[in-house]
Each structure stands twice: as C-alpha cells, then as structure tokens.
Amino acid sequence: MTRIPRLLFAFFMWLSINMLPPTAMASDAYRIGLDADMSSASAQSGEAIRRGMAVAIDELNAAGGVLGKPLQLVVKDHRGNPARGVDNIEDFAQQDDVIAVMGGLHTPVAMAELKAIHANNLIFLVPWAAGTAVVDNGYSPNNVFRVSVRDQLAGRFLVERAQKRGYDTIGLLLEQTGWGRSNEAALNRAAQALGMTIANVQWFSWGTKNLTQKINTLRASGAQAIVLVANTREGAVAVRNIAQMPAPQRLPILSHWGITGGTFPAMLADDLNAVDLSFLQTYSFLRPTRPDAAKAFLARYDKLFPGQTQAGQRNDILSPAGTAHAYDLVMLLARAADQAGSVDPDRLRQALENQAPYDGLVKRYTRPFTAARHDALKRSDFTLAEFSKNGAIVPIER
C-alpha cells in the first residue's frame, strides 16, 4: 500500500464511508450492515471489508439485486470497542429490511456482540475475526457464518511453519484478550502434537508502548522465533523494538494476520526491513486462486474506487484477504436468499447450511457451510506472506 499520513488515510476512509453509490440510497431495498473499525487503529481492515462488500453489492444490483430488490450497504463504526459494537448490533436490529450484518477484525468485539446477534435473530457474517469461539459459540441455532481464519487451525499452521523453518523452540507474544487466549490454546495444542517446545508466553495489553522486556524474556527463555498475535498498533511496537536490537538478537517473527488490518508498513518505515517477519494470509490478488474471478472483481473494484490503485498494479489493494472474504460472504448470502426464496433469518440460515458448490473469489467452495460447520476455510487455504519494500502483501513459500 502506498505510504500516506494516517490523518490523510482517515480522511479518505471517512469520505468513502459517507459517499455510497447511488444504489445504496434506494428506499425499497434489502440492507446489509457492516459493523467494523472504520476510524481507529485497524480502520484499514474495516475499509477493506467495506470495499469487498461494495463490489459484491454492485455486481448483484447490476444483475437485478436479490429477490427483485437492490441491496444497500449500511456502515457503522465500532472503533474496536465491544460496548459500541453491541450498541451497533442493537441499532441494526431495529432497522427495517436488514437481512444480515457483517463484522470486522476484532474478536473481542464479535464475542461481545454474540448475545445481541442471537437475541435479535440476525445473520452475522464474519470476514476477519478469527477467534474459534466466535463460531463455536454455544448458540443453537447458530447465526454466525465465517469466511476467514479460525484460530484453532491458525495455531497449527503457524507452529508447522515454524517447525518447517527449522525451529524447535518458540516463544509466544500474545495480546491479553479473548483473541490472544484463543490462540494460546491453539498454539499449545499444536506444539504438543508436533513435538515443539513453547519456551515462554508473554502477554501485553492494547495500547502498550514498549515490548522490549517481554521480547528479551522470550529470547532468554530459549525461544528461537516468536509467534506474534497482535493487531497493527501493538504489532508495530513489537517489530520496532526488535529492529532496534543488535542484529544477532533479532528473533524472527511468525505472526497471525491482525497486523495487516492497518497502515503497518507506514508505521514502521525502515524498521520493517530489519526484521524477519512473515504472517498468515488466505488470499492475494498477486497470486489469485481463481485468476478469471480475480480479473472480473478487479475490473469492478477499479470502477468503484478509481485512483485507489496504480494502473495495472495489484499491490495497493487494502488488506486483500479481508476484501476477498467480504465479497464471497455477500455472494454466499445472496445465493442463500435466492435458494430460500426469502430473507427470513431462519430460512437464510438453513439455506447457508445447505448450499451447492460455489466458485468464489477466494476458492471453489465444495460446500461452503453445513449445519455442523460454519467455517468455510480450511488450514489448506492458508499461506505465509510478507511485506515488500513498498508495503505490498506478497505470498511467500517457506
């Protein structure tokens, strides 16, 4: 992504939220809500999701909408705050013709919203939040459907990749939230299964300014690499602290994908190139799973967001996995409505659980969801990526 000042980026985000396409102003429309961070540290993730939804909605409306009505996108900003997220869900529940709500990056927000989601019988679509319990939430019926990473699978993937790179002892640097705890459980299970050693676990809170002592503790405990679970702001602190250490002391990092939800490269500048950093991803427009689908998507994306990418370049797409996941979720919802012949939430839920194969942007879904499985992606859909010198997310093979 092109490096631009954070205040300027925030202005672009505000402008894009408040300038919806004309079809979004239709009064006789079905509404899809977006409840995400649109203005705080992970605002890029919210905007990426919004853009993926906008492309899908534009495509569907051009083909006649859903059940004869156009779709309208309604955006609310929870700023990463669980209480604000719950208020947003309650607001969506009071709006006429809201057929589903899309969530954002933050697992703690999604977890806090589950009660209101199910009390109001809202279909909740998850394109990012990876906490295992967001989907395995104990509610029956379960209204949550996810096209994203699942921490239970992410933990195994990251430990496997660390082992493949020759490390047998790792340290965990985790945010002190439900998302961090979800990952700790998954990483511990994976390490035990693979015969790996977790030397130490260090926790940090949102807003922390320095992680040097915690990183030094991991290294002193024998960690050969760090598995990091953080969002953009705290992840940047960790990378900056490691970059400032003498080169022999700089532990490599294998990170969960929360760091890709904001302006991470711009926050770090040259410090980013001083650290061996790789992170989990599921999709790249630089190496698309289904090239023809990506080509069609990008043509529509460029029409809706002119000037947002360099001509002929695909490395400026904001948080590409979040964009692709959101697109596929909207299309899966629309297919479910057509299949059910209704937007009644109970019938939508049943249709989502019983869909035929779908050739999506991210992959070909043999059966996206079932009654027992509301996660559409598998560990085989994951890959490692890294930031290029200009901030692009580039898939790598290790």
Query: Which tens digit of pLDDT belongs to each residue from 14-32?
Result: 454 444 443 344 459 999 9
Q: What is the residue type of 33?
A: G
Q: Domain end: 281, 305, 328, which one?
A: 281
Q: Do 331 and 292 reside in the same domain of the chain?
A: yes
Is the pLDDT assigned to residue 312 strictly greater than 70? no
What is the residue range of 264's domain?
Answer: 152-281
In a domain, 391, yes or no: no
pLDDT tens column, 199-256: 999 999 999 999 999 999 999 999 999 999 999 999 999 999 999 999 999 999 999 9
Q: Do 13 and 143 reside in the same domain of the chain?
A: yes
Q: Do 320 and 213 reside in the same domain of the chain?
A: no
Query: pTM of the full predicted structure?
Result: 0.90
Give the closest residue to 223 by CA, choosing from 159, 167, 156.
Answer: 167
In a domain, 344, yes or no: yes
In a domain, 227, yes or no: yes
390 pLDDT band (50/70/90 cuts)?
confident
Q: How far apart are CA 16 and CA 7, in angstroms?
A: 14
CATH number, domain containing residue 275? 3.40.50.2300
In a domain, 388, yes or no: no
Give the closest residue to 134 by CA, choosing from 177, 97, 91.
Answer: 177
In a domain, 175, yes or no: yes
Q: Do 230 and 351 reside in the same domain of the chain?
A: no
Strand duo 197-204 + 253-255: pairing: unpaired
The pLDDT, as a whole number, for residue 96 is 87
Q: Domain end: 251, 281, 311, which one?
A: 281
For the chain, the domain total comes to 2
For residue 143, give both structure tokens: 């209204």
Q: Do 220 and 240 reside in the same domain of the chain?
A: yes
